[in-house]
Structures are given as structure tokens and as C-alpha cells.
Structure 1
Amino acid sequence: MGNWPAPFGIVLVLDRLAALMLVLTAVLGLFVLLYAINGWDKRGRHFHPLFQFQLLGINGAFLTGDLFNLFVFFEILLIASYGLMVHGGGALRVRAGVQYVVMNLVGSSVFLIAVGLIYSVTGTLNMADLALRVPEVAAGDRALLHTGALLLLLVFAVKAALVPVQFWLPGTYANAPAPVAALFAIMTKVGAYSIIRMYTLVFGDGAGEVGALAGEWLVPAALVTLVLGMLGVLAARSLGQMVSFAVVGSMGTLLVAVGMFSPKAMSAALYYLLHSTLAAGALFLIVDLVTQRRGKHADTFSLAPRFIHGGLIAGVFFVGAIAMTGMPPLSGFLGKLLILDAIRDGAVAVWVWGLVLSTSLIAIIGFARGGSTLFWKSTSVEGVLPAERRGGDALPFVSVGMLLGMLVLLTVFAGPVTVYLEETSMQLFAPSGYINAVLGSGGMR
């Protein structure tokens, strides 16, 4: 941009992975916005500008080819998310928002330190140029480079809600406005995307010792994240909490596959990334459908009288729960199957298979418990609760139905989708094409 040659100017790069993430963001953003304009957007000021700035930051993070501008786009999406987080007010929402702000401010500070360390030993922050310069860093400077790479991994782990920095997500997402929480489903994927981009392009196999750092830390942390997330699903006391912990668990599943850093596992991870984002978005909207119809009971797992549209909401919840827990025949089952197949010959295959299968059972039990309390046991309580009116009833159900419909399409067209994802994965592990596109053959040195 600005007609400056790389690596000196601001670079935006569109490859298969960036294109995939942009389309996913657009689809999720469209259906969330359709839900919000039914009345949610009027509960606070500046919702729509903040929503668009949020999308700007997310899209910019997926497109940027410069590490410092990745930080800039992170800040844009975070500043917008601070405003969206407290949209509509409320003590619990403000308290969760403060925790969210503090956590991300610390993450931003660490991000700047990591960027400074990497720049001090390479003299560049253009990702394609870094891919060429990192292997040439002098032996005496490698400790600084390794520190910068690990600090970056920590920052991206915060965004991706990876253990030990996952604690901010359940309270934040459970207390955020439902359309905002649904959009936030893509926020954790920004962290996963950043790990994939930096640790295949810049700190990949050609980076020497630093290239192996991410895999050593990522897989064990992801497995612990998976276990804690699904145990949280079982222990949750409200539907919002349950879905939030399910997001944590799904990030563990995703990052286990990413941490293998192989083309087959990465392809499976990208399929699961698509699935988990759409499933989480749909479920957060379903949480709001329940909350606005149960009065003081909100989304807590307590017995309450029947509510309007209870049967329809139970139906869409059932579909969403099947998807999120990985039960057949929807894309969650296919995604986990692809991950297990990709890892079956790996050194940690026994651990991964055992934990993925056992935590899937825990998630099924947790969602069955919550669903039975909200939609089955409550039918024994006399009376009917009136809905809290915010607009027409059709548009919210259309939004939820379209997100669930995207999961069905992802299942039906799993063959063509996985072909694209396999080609995307191969492109990631052959970074010369990316480097040549940005710098030209051999790069500008």
C-alpha cells in the first residue's frame, strides 16, 4: 500500500488461508448482524460503528503481511470489542468487561515486547522477509529470537484461550450480549490463525531450533485446554457458561491438530475451525432466545414454566448441541474424525484419541443435562412465561437457522471443502510461494 516496495511498506497478502478466514468472518458477521438488528442494536449507542470496526480489525489481522501491523489490527478489533462487550450495560457485564480489558492490555504489552525483540535481531517485521532472515540470525542473538518467538506464542495463546491463559473467556463470553458473543466466536480463531501463520511461515521448519518451539508447548497445553473446557461444560450452571466452556474445549481440539504442524493435521484443523466457529455462533444466539423468554430464570439450569416457542428453540438447540459435541452426522463428527485420522500415527496418538473421545462423551452428558432441564423437565412446571419483546420473532430464528444450515452444508460438501483445505495446507507448508509473491524471486535484500 502507498506504492512502497516490500518489505518497507504496509503489505496486505491474500492466500488461500486468508481467503478462507475472510469468507468465514463475512458469513458469521452477516448472520449475527441480522440477529442484532431485531432490537439488540438499539440497547446501546454506537453498536453499528463498533461492529464494523470489529470486522475491520478481524479482516485486517487475516490479511496483513507485517508483524507490527498484526499488532495494530489486534488493537483495532480489541478496542471495538471493549465497547461491544458492555453494550446494554449491567453490573456483571461491566465486571467481565474490566477483566477482559485488563487481560488484553497485558497481552498487548507482551506483544510489543516480542515485536521489539524480533526486530532487534532481524531488522524487519515483514513476515515474508522475516522468513528469510530468521534462519540467518547470528548464534549470539538466537536467545533473543527464541524469547520473542515464545512471547508471541503466549500472546496468541491468550487470544486463543489456551491454558494457562484461558480463564478470561468463560466469564467474558457468558456475560457479553448474545450477538457480540456470537461474533466473538471468530476472535479465538484470530489467535489460532496467528499461530498457524507465524509458525509455518516465519518460524517453520527452515527456522532451525526456533521452529520446533511451538509444537513442544502447543500440543500439551491444547490437551489440557480440551479437558478443562469439557469439564467446565459438565459443571456449568447456565446455558451461556456451558457454551463458553465448549468454546474453550473446541479450541483445545483445534490446537492439538495445529500443534502437529503436518499438512494432513493442518487440513483437519482448518475443517474443524470452520465448524466450531459456526456452531459456537449459533449456540450463543440460541442462548439469547432462551434468556429473553424465561424472565428472571434467564438461561440458568433451573426449572421454570414453559415459554413461548419452546419447542422450536429446543429443536435448534438439539441440532446445535449435536454439532458442538461432535456427534454424527454433522460436521463436528467429521472434523474430529479427520483430526483423529491425521494424528493416529503420531507419538501422542494414544493421548489425543483417548482425550478427544472421552471429553466428547463428557460434552454430550453436559449438553444433555442442560437441554433436559431447560426444555424437558421444565414442562412439568405449570404456566407459560411471556417473551420479552424486542421486535419480530422471525429474524432471530432465520439467523440461527442459517448458521445451522451452514453446518449442514459443511457436512454435505465436506469432500470439496476438504480438497480446498488440503491445498491450503500444502500452500502453508511450502512458504516459498508466499515469499515470492511479497518480495519477488529471492526477495529484496
Structure 2
Amino acid sequence: MNMSFADMMMRLFNDHLAVLPVLLPGLTAVLMLLIGDRPAEQCLPRLRRIALISVGLGLLFALKLAMEADDGVLRVYRVGDWPAPFGIVLVVDRLSALMLLLTQAVALPVLVYASGGWDSHGRHFHALFQFQLMGLNGAFVTGDLFNLFVFFEVLLIASYVLLLHGQGKERFRVGLQYVAINLAASALFLIGVALIYATVGTLNMADLAQRVPQVQGDEALLLKAAALILLVVFGVKAALLPLYLWLPATYAAASAPVAALFAVMTKVGVYSILRVHGVIFGHDAGAAALTVQPWLLPLALGTSALAVLGALAAHTLPRLVAYLTVASVGTILAALGLFTAPAWSAALYYMAHSTLVIAALFLLVELVAAQRGDAGERLEPGAPVAQPALLGLLMLLAAASAAGLPPLPGFIGKLMVLQASSGHEAQAWVWTVVLAVGFLTLIGLARAGSVLFWSVRPELAGSGTSAGASPRLLLATVSLIVAGVFMSAMAGPLKRYTDAAAEQLGDRRAYVEAVLGSEGVQTTRPYVFPRTPATEGAHP
């Protein structure tokens, strides 16, 4: 049967859609390197157009994948058509599609913001930005632990240079610490992966899901050791106590658009903990089941508590937002540490919200700081801002959502976490920490707002800049805040999606069949979430 060219292209597009979120930014970055960036006044406009088109297409691809995943279909892409578990495999389920969509939804406004001038402060910004997206997207769709390590390294190498973009003594200082810590974590990652491979003979996630439950005896101890090592690795990436100390200084020193993009980077660690420790080493994983459960919840609650105290003590706006990033990660990981489907659903919803609002805050605080004259980003009285009504309203919306005030999505996400913890033995601790952190976050942001917009020095009026008046910068910042508000308006459908994503994670057999085929499935017990009084009957 003859097929038109358009039909052939559409079929080709559908067949390779799963790899496009990785392939597109990679090819875009290579193209940009070939174009070069000297002289900047000639190359930058072209690079900006190419970058925006690429990220815009990436957003459309991620949206299509999310819509397809909502039907419960797992899209599997076998690179080179090698069968799993021998070849490289990419898998897009509801969780992966959500993370892809979140990454692109943050990347597009951040890139618009950076194109307002930040991209001209150093060389190859746009190429590095694309390599960062390649690493992020690859980490979310890979179905193999070793390739998860590979994509970690891709995004980290790009982040090393992006952190130093614009240069400066402080960036070089924290950059050295950032590189050293992540190199050590990468070495531990390889050790953990090697232990797993030595024990079960595979690194394919689907294959691991059915082989790990069969391991017993001394080999199970090796698996537990590997699981704990990987928790340390992912804890460094996600900024889990006591491994978060590198993050506040690093994110505070980075340029605003880079720090905003880095808000997604911590979620790679969160995603990895959920995918590896929640599924592979989760319930019904045999002797290695729930290896990290005794550690994850208390460490997550401690992360939130200490981070919010750091936010209260912060003396600069970027450092305040950096600590709020850590506090939000603690809340997400606390929900994951409950190891129930409703808690995982709450974690996914809150993760999407917190990523958007943190990215918006990093952009917003720079706009405010640019209008405060010599005071800049320091939390001390300075010149009155040129746009107090607009910037004040944006700060109010972002702060209210970050603190968890109704009816914004921060409130909905935290309410979901509290409901999911009902009946759990740690319910009192979860409620106490989540509510206290929300209250202290509100105090910290209210203090910052009063200094920025009320404790001003009128005699310094006009000493700042009009950077906030730029439509490009405002559009990027407002779009992230509006996206967060949109999550509140669409809370019902989004919750149904995250509920389905959490339940899908528990369906090991469907995942294994999609990746390995029915002939590759071994007989294993079904993966069943435990029921608590609060969740009994909540899911069919």
C-alpha cells in the first residue's frame, strides 16, 4: 500500500518520539557549536532563535508524550533495535512524561529570560543550556542504571560551566566545591552500580525489578549496601540532609536563569530515589525490600526543618530562595518516604509546583535586586523599587504558594501530603514538620518582603536600574508564576494524573512486559502498596 510522504514523516515521528527529547537538544547543541559565538553581536541573535525554537519543540514533544502516557501506555524505545536487557532502552511512562513536561516548562521561560542579556556574559551559553536539557531529559527516560549515570554526567558537566557563566570570584569558589562534591558522588555511583551488576548480572531497570526479589543470603547484603550507596549519591543530587550543604551557596552564586534551571536539577535526585528505591528496592523486593525506609523519612523531615531555619537566617535574596529549594525537597522526600501510592501522588504534585515557584523566585529576586541600587540582593533597607506594585504582587503570589497558603497549589500539595500520612506511625512528625516549615517559610518571605518594599530609603530613589521594566524578563517570570496558579485551577485533573502515575509505578509486571516482552517476564509476586486507615479504599 502506497504511503504519502506526510504519512511517512508522521509515522517516523511517532516511532521515534521517545528519543526526541534527548536527541533534539543534543543535535541543537552540536549545531550551535558549529556556528560558534564570535563575533557575539552577529551570532547571538541566531543562536537565540535556534535555542527558543528547539526548546519550544521540546515542550510540544513532552506535552504529546504526557497526553499519550495519560492513557496508561508505556512507550519503549530500543536504541539500535537491540532487545532489552542487552541494549539501551528508553521508557516513557506517566512519571517520565511528567518530568519531561516539567523540565521543558521551566526551560522555555528561563531561556527567554537568559536571552534578555545573561547569555552574552560568557561563551557557548546556549550550547551548554541544550546539553543540560539533554542530560536532564535523558535521566528521566532511561531504563538502565548505567545510562542514568551517563546522563547524570552529561547534565553535571554542563552545569559546571553554566555555574561559572559570567565568572566572578564567588562563582569560582563555590564552583570548585560543587565540582569536587559531584565527582565524589559520581565515583560512589559507579561503586553502587558495580555492586548491583556483580550481584544480579543486569542494570536494566525492568530486569532488576524481577531479579532483585529473588536474591537471598549474603548477596542480599551486597544489594542493601548498593542501595544505601545509591541513596547517598541521589541524596547529594537532591540535597538531602546532611548532603545539602553545597546547595545554598552554589545556587545563590549562580546567575538567575542558571539557578532557575538548577531548580529542575535537584529533582533528578528525587526522581532517581523514587524510581530506584521506591520500585526496584521497594515493597516485595525480597530481602532487600525497603532498605532505605528507616533513613529516608527522618532525613527528609530533618532536611526541611534545618533548611527553613537557614532561610530565616539568610542575609541575601538568592540564598533565601536556595534554602527554600532545599526545604521543598525535604517535603517531597518525606512524602516518598511514606512508601504509599497516595503519598507518592502528593510528592509528584508538590514537586511540580515547587519547581515552578522556586524557578520563578530566582528570576524575580534578580528583578527586584536590580532596582534597589547599592543594596542589591542584600536583605537590608535600600532604594525603593521602580515597580513596587507589579513586583510586589508577583512576590506575594510566589511567597504565598511557597508557604502553602490556600487556594494556591502549595497548599493543595501539602494537604495531599498530610492526608497521605494519616494512619502512618510517623504521622505526628510529618504533620508537625510540614506545618511548621510552611509557617516559618511564610515568616521568612514576609520578612524579606517588608525589607524590600517597606523598609526603603527614599533618598536613594533612582539609584537602581529599570531592568524590571523589560517585557522579556517580566514575561518569563510571570509565565512561571501563572503556571503555578494554573496548577491550582487544574488541581483535579493533575491529581488524577499523579494518582495514576503512582499506581503505575507499582505495576511491575506491566513495566517488565513493556520493556522485556512477555517472554522475558519471570513469575514474581505482585507489587502491592500497603494500606493504611487513610488510604484503605482510596484506590481500586
Q: Classify the TM-score, shorter chain.
A: over 0.9
Structure 2 counterpart of 1:2, which letter?
G
Matched, 1:296 2:296: no
- The residue that corresponds to 1:418 in the other structure is 495
CA contact (8 A) 1:304 1:381 kept: no
Runs of 4+ in 1 over 6 A off after TM superposition: none
- The residue that corresponds to 1:260 in the other structure is 338
**1:247 corresponds to which of 325, 337, 352:** 325
Note closer, same or farther for the CA distance 1:2–1:27 as it changes in structure 2 (3 Å cut): same
Alpha-carbon deviation of 1:307? Answer: 2.8
- The residue that corresponds to 1:276 in the other structure is 354
d(CA) in 2 for partners of 1:382 and 1:283? 25
d(CA) in 1 for partners of 2:185 and 2:428? 34
Query: Secondary structure, in 3 states, of the residue corresponding to 1:102?
Result: helix
**1:328 corresponds to which of 402, 406, 431:** 406
d(CA) in 2 for partners of 1:261 and 1:353? 16
d(CA) in 2 for partners of 1:352 and 1:206? 25
Matched, 1:338 2:416: yes
Note closer, same or farther for the CA distance 1:444–1:354 as it changes in structure 2 (3 Å cut): closer
- The residue that corresponds to 2:68 in the other structure is none
CA contact (8 A) 2:403 2:410 kept: yes
d(CA) in 2 for partners of 1:350 and 1:55? 39
d(CA) in 2 for partners of 1:215 and 1:3? 37
d(CA) in 2 for partners of 1:392 and 1:283? 17
d(CA) in 2 for partners of 1:399 and 1:7? 42
d(CA) in 1 for partners of 2:519 and 2:81? 20
Alpha-carbon deviation of 1:444? Answer: 6.8
Q: Which is further off, 16-25 or 378-387?
A: 378-387
Matched, 1:77 2:147: no
Matched, 1:365 2:443: yes
Query: Secondary structure, in 3 states, of the residue corresponding to 2:240?
Result: coil
d(CA) in 2 for partners of 1:287 and 1:45? 25
d(CA) in 1 for partners of 2:218 and 2:385? 67
Structure 2 counterpart of 1:297, which letter?
A
**1:233 corresponds to which of 302, 311, 330:** 311
Matched, 1:109 2:187: yes
d(CA) in 2 for partners of 1:131 and 1:35? 42
CA contact (8 A) 1:160 1:192 kept: yes
Query: Secondary structure, in 3 states, of the residue corresponding to 1:384?
Result: coil
**1:350 corresponds to which of 409, 428, 450:** 428
Query: Secondary structure, in 3 states, of the residue corresponding to 1:226?
Result: helix
Say which structure, 1 or 2, has more relative contact order (CA 8 Å, 6+ apart): 1
d(CA) in 2 for partners of 1:17 and 1:225? 24
TM-score normalised according to structure 2 size: 0.80
Structure 2: give runs of 5+ residues left out of the alignment. Answer: 1-78, 523-540
- The residue that corresponds to 2:472 in the other structure is 395
- The residue that corresponds to 1:37 in the other structure is 115
Q: How does 1:85-124 map to 2 (within 5 A)?
A: 85-124=163-202
CA contact (8 A) 1:307 1:385 kept: no
Structure 1 counterpart of 2:147, which letter?
N
Q: Percent identity?
A: 50
- The residue that corresponds to 2:531 in the other structure is none
Structure 2 counterpart of 1:404, which letter?
I
d(CA) in 2 for partners of 1:420 and 1:310? 38
d(CA) in 2 for partners of 1:228 and 1:16? 32
Task: Encode CA deviations 1:113-170: one digit per residue, 9 max, x unaligned.
Answer: 0001110111111110111111222412122111111101110111110001010110
- The residue that corresponds to 1:432 in the other structure is 509
Alpha-carbon deviation of 1:360? Answer: 1.2
- The residue that corresponds to 1:24 in the other structure is 102
d(CA) in 2 for partners of 1:434 and 1:41? 41
Task: Encode CA deviations 1:402-443: one digit per residue, 9 max, x unaligned.
Answer: 111111110001001101111111001112111110001151
Q: Which is further off, 173-182 or 305-314?
A: 305-314
Task: Encode CA deviations 1:322-355: one digit per residue, 9 max, x unaligned.
Answer: 1111112210011101100110211000111111
d(CA) in 2 for partners of 1:24 and 1:365? 28
Alpha-carbon deviation of 1:244? Answer: 0.5
Query: Secondary structure, in 3 states, of the residue corresponding to 2:437?
Result: helix
CA contact (8 A) 2:216 2:286 kept: no
TM-score normalised according to structure 1 size: 0.97
Q: Which is further off, 54-63 or 302-311?
A: 302-311
Task: Encode CA deviations 1:35-59: one digit per residue, 9 max, x unaligned.
Answer: 1101111111010000000000000
- The residue that corresponds to 1:443 in the other structure is 520
Task: Encode CA deviations 1:35-93: one digit per residue, 9 max, x unaligned.
Answer: 11011111110100000000000000000000000000000000000010000011011
d(CA) in 1 for partners of 2:120 and 2:510? 47
Alpha-carbon deviation of 1:19? Answer: 0.4
**1:54 corresponds to which of 132, 140, 152:** 132
d(CA) in 1 for partners of 2:315 and 2:95? 37
CA contact (8 A) 2:370 2:465 kept: yes
Tell me the C-alpha RMSD between the 2 structures: 1.4
Note closer, same or farther for the CA distance 1:206–1:246 as it changes in structure 2 (3 Å cut): same
Q: Which is further off, 47-56 or 298-307?
A: 298-307
Task: Encode CA deviations 1:355-387: one digit per residue, 9 max, x unaligned.
Answer: 111121111111111110011111555422231
d(CA) in 2 for partners of 1:363 and 1:320? 12
- The residue that corresponds to 1:207 in the other structure is 285
Structure 1 counterpart of 2:142, which letter?
T
Structure 2 counterpart of 1:405, which letter?
V
Task: Encode CA deviations 1:186-245: one digit per residue, 9 max, x unaligned.
Answer: 111100000111123311212123222121110000010010111111111011111110
Structure 1 counterpart of 2:303, which letter?
T
Task: Encode CA deviations 1:233-272: one digit per residue, 9 max, x unaligned.
Answer: 1111011111110111111111100111100111111100
d(CA) in 1 for partners of 2:174 and 2:365? 18
d(CA) in 2 for partners of 1:132 and 1:357? 39
- The residue that corresponds to 1:140 in the other structure is 218
CA contact (8 A) 1:10 1:66 kept: yes
Matched, 1:409 2:497: no
d(CA) in 1 for partners of 2:164 and 2:296? 32
CA contact (8 A) 2:509 2:521 kept: no
- Which of the two has higher C-alpha Rg? 2
CA contact (8 A) 1:239 1:299 kept: yes
d(CA) in 2 for partners of 1:295 and 1:238? 14
CA contact (8 A) 2:143 2:205 kept: yes
CA contact (8 A) 1:55 1:77 kept: yes
d(CA) in 2 for partners of 1:200 and 1:236? 34
Structure 1 counterpart of 2:493, which letter?
P
Structure 1: give runs of 5+ residues left out of the alignment. Answer: none
- The residue that corresponds to 2:11 in the other structure is none
d(CA) in 2 for partners of 1:429 and 1:358? 31
CA contact (8 A) 2:369 2:376 kept: yes
